């Protein structure tokens, strides 16, 4: 008899995006004319073309593979040194102490934020923010770090840290002791950022309690305000309590190309049950060497090109495009009296629903009256009720049209 991992049976059948999909298809079936003008501002996927510098680097890497003298087979599981150097060099240029061999290149940070749980033992108390990027929750369910799902979709055994307008969408330090804390800034879904002081308080808490911060900086490139930290390692003391996840998906348009990386500082440790300190760097290195054979060579050459002068200029233009969209969407919501958060250092605009309007009511109103798909905040967690998210990953023409339709909505 083979037994299944019963933790998978605890998973709530991915509620948010299937339910959005269901409502959108019902709408389109019932309103075929309106369906033609439907604009999707729901999903967090990029829309603009892959930078030329990346495409050229990838093409030339493919040609390397076509010649037996420059052919490459299996690469280093941790990533090619040319890319690890480019990544760590970029941190060092910003004055941050990151060594080349603290960089682990992967096929994206969704995988890394999930896989990282393999190097942690049983019995850790896990804290996540609410609302949250659902991957952090579901991977903990799969790993057996939670109890069953409750009626409202939350899980027993997880510590939920509410992020609302009252705390500027940065969670208060919990009263209880938690062992692993997921933080994501700039945030998906709220589009908000954490200040240096707020992050310092978390680093302080983690160092005092022997906790680990799993810091997801997937949207770092969208930061416009120089006072907002771009990396957890800008905070003193972070090297002894934090792992950072980064991705080329959103800055370089790599959602389909697939490449990201994780920084594990060598001084970062966790304990065995009998109190011995063990370096996490060695464990993650072992995990990657055993279970991963590296991101593909052309993809890593493409990622390297993002650090060239030409690549940086193209990334800057992409960010300017998406942030221009965010401003248009944000201004449109403000102009009709809605309260807007985020959207200044992140490609997501997080909007408060008018008094008495729920997240899903707002979703339905946008769909039925504006023929625009947004994401209801409640889908990201209970504390997201009363908000909806508009993504600025879109063409300028679509965003301008959405802004026009927002202006016509009567609440
Ligand atoms: C898009 C996104 C990522 C990136 O995931 P990839 O697997 O690298 O494409 C990571 N974290 C968050 C919160 C995201 O929204």
For the cut 80, the answer to whether the pLDDT of residue 308 exceeds it is: yes
- Give yes or no: residues 295 and 320 share one domain: no
The pLDDT value given to residue 244: 98
- Give yes or no: residues 202 and 284 share one domain: yes
Which of 308, 335, 370 is a domain's end point?
308
Distance CA 186, CA 222 (A): 8
For the cut 80, the answer to whether the pLDDT of residue 73 exceeds it is: yes
- Give yes or no: residues 89 and 238 share one domain: yes
> Whose C-alpha lies nearest to ligand 1, atom 12?
218
Q: Is 345 in the pocket of ligand 1 (CB under 6 A)?
A: no
Q: What is the CATH number of the domain that holds 206?
A: 3.40.640.10
- Give yes or no: residues 148 and 172 share one domain: yes
Q: Mean pLDDT, to the nearest integer, of 7-33? A: 90
Structure tokens at 355: 């008094």
- Give yes or no: residues 32 and 112 share one domain: no
Pairing of strands 242-247, 260-263: antiparallel
pLDDT digits (tens, 9 = 90+) for 238-270: 999 999 999 999 999 999 999 999 999 999 999
The pLDDT value given to residue 194: 98
- Give yes or no: residues 301 and 315 share one domain: no
The widest CA-to-CA distance across the chain, in whole angstroms, is 68
Instruction: Determine the atom of ligand 1 nearest the C-alpha atom of 249.
Output: 9
Structure tokens at 291: 């279970």
In the predicted model, what is the mean pLDDT of the chain?
96
Query: Which range marks the domain in which residue 315 is found?
Result: 11-49+310-408
pLDDT digits (tens, 9 = 90+) for 128-145: 999 999 999 999 999 999
Identify which of 16, 46, 133, 254 to mutate to test ligand 1's pocket (most ligand atoms within 8 A of the CB). Answer: 133
CB of 34 closer than 8 Å to CB of 371: yes
DSSP for 275-305, please give it: S-EEEHHHHHHHHHHHH---S-HHHHHHHHH
2 within some domain:
no
Structure tokens at 198: 């707020």
Q: Is 255 in the pocket of ligand 1 (CB under 6 A)?
A: yes
**In 66-108, which residue ranges form alpha helices assigned H by DSSP?**
81-93
pLDDT digits (tens, 9 = 90+) for 95-116: 999 999 999 999 999 999 999 9
- Give yes or no: residues 226 and 355 share one domain: no
- Provide φ and ψ at 24, rounded to 5°: -70, -40
> Whose C-alpha lies nearest to ligand 1, atom 11?
218
- Provide φ and ψ at 149, rounded to 5°: -75, 145
Q: Is 300 in the pocket of ligand 1 (CB under 6 A)?
A: no
Q: Mean pLDDT, to the nearest integer, of 320-343? A: 97
CA 84 centroid distance within chain: 21
Instruction: Determine the atom of ligand 1 nearest the C-alpha atom of 112.
Output: 7
Model confidence pTM above 0.95: yes
The pLDDT value given to residue 153: 86
Q: Mean pLDDT, to the nearest integer, of 354-364? A: 96
Identify which of 216, 221, 246 to mutate to test ligand 1's pocket (most ligand atoms within 8 A of the CB). Answer: 216
The pLDDT value given to residue 40: 95
The pLDDT value given to residue 226: 97
pLDDT digits (tens, 9 = 90+) for 151-201: 888 999 999 999 999 999 999 998 889 999 999 999 999 999 999 999 999
The pLDDT value given to residue 320: 98
- Give yes or no: residues 81 and 169 share one domain: yes
Instruction: Determine the atom of ligand 1 nearest the C-alpha atom of 187.
Output: 13
- Provide φ and ψ at 339, rounded to 5°: -90, 130
Instruction: Determine the atom of ligand 1 nearest the C-alpha atom of 255.
Output: 9
Q: Mean pLDDT, to the nearest integer, of 197-211? A: 98
- Give yes or no: residues 110 and 27 share one domain: no
Q: Which region, left, alpha or beta, applies to residue 257 given φ > 0 means left and ψ of -120 to 50 means alpha? A: alpha
Identify which of 218, 243, 253, 254 to mutate to test ligand 1's pocket (most ligand atoms within 8 A of the CB). Answer: 218
Structure tokens at 197: 């002081």
- Give yes or no: residues 269 and 321 share one domain: no
Distance CA 96, CA 221 (A): 16
Structure tokens at 379: 């889908």
CA 409 centroid distance within chain: 30
DSSP for 339-377, please give it: EEEE-SSSSEEEEEPPTT--HHHHHHHIIIII-EE-EEG
CB atoms under 10 Å from CB of 246, counted, come to: 26
Number of domains in the chain: 2
Which of 291, 308, 325 is a domain's end point?
308
Q: Is 186 in the pocket of ligand 1 (CB under 6 A)?
A: no
- Give yes or no: residues 58 and 146 share one domain: yes
- Give yes or no: residues 212 and 327 share one domain: no
386 within some domain:
yes
Q: Is 249 in the pocket of ligand 1 (CB under 6 A)?
A: yes
CB of 219 closer than 8 Å to CB of 231: no
The pLDDT value given to residue 313: 98
Q: Mean pLDDT, to the nearest integer, of 69-95? A: 98
CB of 262 closer than 8 Å to CB of 247: no
pLDDT above 90 covers what percent of the chain? Answer: 95
For the cut 90, the answer to whether the pLDDT of residue 44 exceeds it is: no
Q: Is 216 in the pocket of ligand 1 (CB under 6 A)?
A: yes
Q: Is 184 in the pocket of ligand 1 (CB under 6 A)?
A: yes
The pLDDT value given to residue 345: 98
Structure tokens at 3: 């037994």
Q: Is 44 in the pocket of ligand 1 (CB under 6 A)?
A: yes
135 Cα–ligand 1 center, Å: 9
216 Cα–ligand 1 center, Å: 8
Reduced to 3 states (helix: H, G, I; strand: E, B; else coil), residue 389 is strand
For the cut 80, the answer to whether the pLDDT of residue 14 exceeds it is: no
6 within some domain:
no
Distance CA 204, CA 80 (A): 34
> Whose C-alpha lies nearest to ligand 1, atom 2?
218
Residue 410 vs residue 99, higher pLDDT:
99
Q: Mean pLDDT, to the nearest integer, of 295-321? A: 98
The pLDDT value given to residue 42: 86
């Amino acid at each position: 008899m083979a037994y299944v991992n019963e933790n998978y049976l605890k998973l709530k059948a991915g509620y948010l995006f299937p339910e959005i999909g269901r409502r959108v298809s019902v709408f389109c079936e019932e309103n075929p004319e309106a369906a033609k003008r439907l604009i999707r501002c729901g999903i967090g996927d990029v829309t603009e073309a892959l930078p030329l510098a990346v495409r050229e680097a990838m093409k030339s890497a493919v040609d390397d593979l076509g010649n037996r003298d420059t052919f490459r087979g299996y690469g280093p599981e941790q990533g090619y040194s040319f890319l690890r150097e480019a990544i760590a060099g970029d941190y060092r240029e910003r004055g941050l102490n990151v060594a080349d061999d603290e960089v682990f290149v992967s096929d994206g940070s969704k995988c890394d934020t999930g896989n990282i749980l393999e190097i942690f033992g049983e019995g850790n108390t896990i804290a996540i923010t609410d609302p949250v990027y659902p991957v952090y929750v579901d991977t903990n369910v799969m790993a057996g770090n939670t109890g069953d799902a409750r009626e409202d979709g939350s899980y027993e055994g997880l510590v939920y840290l509410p992020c609302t307008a009252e705390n500027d969408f940065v969670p208060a330090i919990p009263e209880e002791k938690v062992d692993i804390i997921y933080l994501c800034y700039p945030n998906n879904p709220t589009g908000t950022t954490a200040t240096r002081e707020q992050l310092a308080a978390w680093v302080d808490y983690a160092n005092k309690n022997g906790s680990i911060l799993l810091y997801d900086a997937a949207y770092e490139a969208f930061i416009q305000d120089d006072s907002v930290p771009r990396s957890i390692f800008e905070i003193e003391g972070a090297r002894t309590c934090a792992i950072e996840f980064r991705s080329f998906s959103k800055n370089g348009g790599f959602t389909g190309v697939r490449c990201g990386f994780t920084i594990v500082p060598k001084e970062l440790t966790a304990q065995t049950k009998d109190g011995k300190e063990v370096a996490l760097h060695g464990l993650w290195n072992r995990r990657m060497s055993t279970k991963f054979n590296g991101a593909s060579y052309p993809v890593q050459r493409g990622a390297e090109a993002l650090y060239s002068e030409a690549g940086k200029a193209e990334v800057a233009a992409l960010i300017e495009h998406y942030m221009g969209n965010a401003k248009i969407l944000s201004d449109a919501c403000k102009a009709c009296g809605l309260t807007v958060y985020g959207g200044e250092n992140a490609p997501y605009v997080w909007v408060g629903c008018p008094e008495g309007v729920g997240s899903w009511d707002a979703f339905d109103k946008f769909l039925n009256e504006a023929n625009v798909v947004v994401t209801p905040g409640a889908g990201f967690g209970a504390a997201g009720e009363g908000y909806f998210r508009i993504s600025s990953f879109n063409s300028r023409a679509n965003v301008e049209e959405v802004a026009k339709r927002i202006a016509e909505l009567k609440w």
